[in-house]
Amino acid sequence: MGLTILGALLGMAVTLLTGRVVGAVPGVIDGRPGAMPLGEFGWLLGGLLVVFVADSLLPALRQVASLMMDAGLVRAIGTGISEPLLTPRRIEHLEDPEVLDVQERAKGKGGFHLAQGMGQLPWLLASRVTLFGSAVIVGVMFSWWVAILLVGVTLLLESYGGRLVEGEIDVWWGNTEEQRRANYLFNLGMRDAPKELRVFGLHTWLVERYVRDWTAGYRPVWARRKQNAKWSILFGGVHLVANSIAILAVGRAALNGSLPLTQVATTLPAILAIAQTNNGYGVVQVRRGLSAYRAMRDLPATIAERHPEAVASTEHRIETMPAREIRFEKVGFRYPGSEVDVLRDLDLTIRAREALALVGINGAGKSTLVKLLGGAYRPTSGRILVDGVDLAELDLAAWQRRVAAIVQDFLRFPLSVTDNVVFGAVERAGDELTLARVARESGIDEVVRGLPKGWDTVLDKTFDGGVDLSGGEWQRVALARALFAVHAGAGVLVLDEPAAALDVRAEAELVERYLELTSGVASLIISHRFSVVRNADRICVLSDGRIVEDGTHEELLARDGEYAGMFRLQAERYVTGPEAVDA
């Protein structure tokens, strides 16, 4: 910012020194009486050269400083927005419309975020220095009324031009439906479904549809821009007339001899400098950047006010929990903004060192129950007790370190194999013995040995030297991650559709391995496949937000209830063909 303002001051210095040089030249050449001495003229030229060189070097320095500032701002913005969102151990705030609104404003409405606003701020300040500094030159050297006229017209045009630009941006920002469709189509072709598009020959359709939706989204902007162009031409004409009047007035004064050559040579560049300070677009960028800054500043307070974190008790030994059980007592839950209860008066006990399976149709609330178990949400009603202590009273961060989860859509980090495994317990990232142990237990040791860089291989083929794993290999990486967490002290293992990408037999074998390797912890297994859950110590059926059946596989079949009906229905899918009929 200082360099930009210094550049504006040096520009005005060049204007003043150039005017003095031009005014002194005739007298020095002709040797007129009272003319500037030759030595003084030499110093004047030397000063002009020094200022000119300094002014010429500043752009390179400003560019370096601008790049450094931009990098710092991008980092600060990323931290300022992501940290308040990631710090809470629960996730209700991520679905709060008010929090999301503040977040979007912090990112920058209409594409104008803080980095753009701050990037324009030095230039806006420099233009103000140039505007008012040049106006002073015009006023002192020639006429104050001309200076006031030029400043007034410039500020008026800048203000009105900024409104035109802002209105155009608002039209674009408000017309989001077509933009979303166009962005979806673009991502569909570039990333999401390139194979299917080629198989079905949809590339021409995709391009045409993208152009149509993008054009539909931009058409209102073009209409506003066409309307704005008329006013821009009109006000541009007013600006041109004002500057023409000022220049003609200077020329007239020069012709009638009332304005010396020095003043003429100084005033004309100053008038032209004022004309170039109109920066309505920059004003909009700075204003919206400051609005984004205020939203980013308010984001932590908004989250804390709407979703206060409970003060955790330190008297409980969380590192040994659960020693007995985890109990859901009359738990009810509905998602923020919803009027539908996902869970209703649910009672469930997960015993320590027990493998409990949970089954139910899609939408029954199985994954929601896992989120409540991990403390991601608070129950709407009822409570969750860990060894008789309300989960709300525990240090949530410490409790979540006790829970290891493998879910169907587990994260596949485009990082090394090591990182993908040790993320199960990052505090033990340097424990190579445990890393080798879980590699053997999960069966990925042979996979790692076959990779080009072993444990350091990046699991993403879009990176140099990276590779992609098969679905089964990724499942074993996920298993290794969970086992790493268990060996680091996790006491609860959640398997939420742990191997849905595998065939039935492979999934059953993998789950059996899970149970064998984690027999000392509480395990919650969720699967649609009954062949997977039948060997669990206990099976619970979740239906309509409640646990409706509880028992072993044999007990539930003998009861001939909901579990038995679902089991028979699924078993019939694997008994097909004439051979099955004859049998």
Per the model's pLDDT, the better-predicted residue between 124 and 134 turns out to be 134
Distance separating alpha carbons of residues 384 and 376, to the nearest angstrom: 13
Per the model's pLDDT, the better-predicted residue between 537 and 9 turns out to be 537
Domain ranges, ordered by start, for the chain: 2-306, 318-402+493-498+522-574, 410-490
pLDDT at 581: 34
Distance separating alpha carbons of residues 345 and 545, to the nearest angstrom: 8
Q: Quick check: helix, strand or coil at residue 441?
A: helix
Average pLDDT over residues 461-474: 85
pLDDT tops 70 at residue 526? yes
pLDDT digits (tens, 9 = 90+) for 357-386: 999 877 778 888 988 998 888 999 999 999
Distance separating alpha carbons of residues 277 and 138, to the nearest angstrom: 15
pLDDT at 111: 54
Contact call for residues 171 and 165 (beta carbons, < 8 A) = no
pLDDT at 2: 66
Topology classification of domain 2-306: ABC transporter transmembrane region fold (1.20.1560)
pTM above the 0.85 mark? no
Question: pLDDT-based confidence at 443, cuts 50/70/90?
Answer: confident
**Encoded tokens for 565:** 């009906």
The alpha-helical segments, DSSP class H, found in 385-503 are 396-401, 417-422, 432-442, 445-449, 471-487
pLDDT digits (tens, 9 = 90+) for 182-233: 777 777 766 656 677 776 777 787 788 888 877 877 777 777 777 777 777 7
Question: pLDDT-based confidence at 43, cuts 50/70/90?
Answer: confident
pLDDT more than 90, % of the chain: 14
Distance separating alpha carbons of residues 19 and 254, to the nearest angstrom: 14
Of the chain, the end-to-end C-alpha distance in Å amounts to: 85
pLDDT at 313: 62
Average pLDDT over residues 79-90: 85
Per the model's pLDDT, the better-predicted residue between 259 and 579 turns out to be 259
CATH topology match: 2-306 vs 410-490:
no
Highest mean pLDDT among 136-150, 262-276, 516-530, 564-578: 136-150
**Encoded tokens for 518:** 């984690």
Question: pLDDT-based confidence at 314, cuts 50/70/90?
Answer: low
Name the superfamily (CATH) of residues 410-490.
P-loop containing nucleotide triphosphate hydrolases (3.40.50.300)
* 318-402+493-498+522-574 is classed CATH 3.40.50.10900: no
**Encoded tokens for 7:** 């550049």
pLDDT tops 60 at residue 174? no
Contact call for residues 346 and 514 (beta carbons, < 8 A) = no
Distance separating alpha carbons of residues 35 and 27, to the nearest angstrom: 5
Give the mean pLDDT of the chain: 80
Distance separating alpha carbons of residues 395 and 381, to the nearest angstrom: 20
The alpha-helical segments, DSSP class H, found in 276-352 are 280-306
pLDDT tops 80 at residue 389? yes
Average pLDDT over residues 392-421: 86
Distance separating alpha carbons of residues 495 and 8, to the nearest angstrom: 64
Q: Quick check: helix, strand or coil at residue 118?
A: helix
Distance separating alpha carbons of residues 42 and 404, to the nearest angstrom: 80
**Amino acid at residue number 315:** E
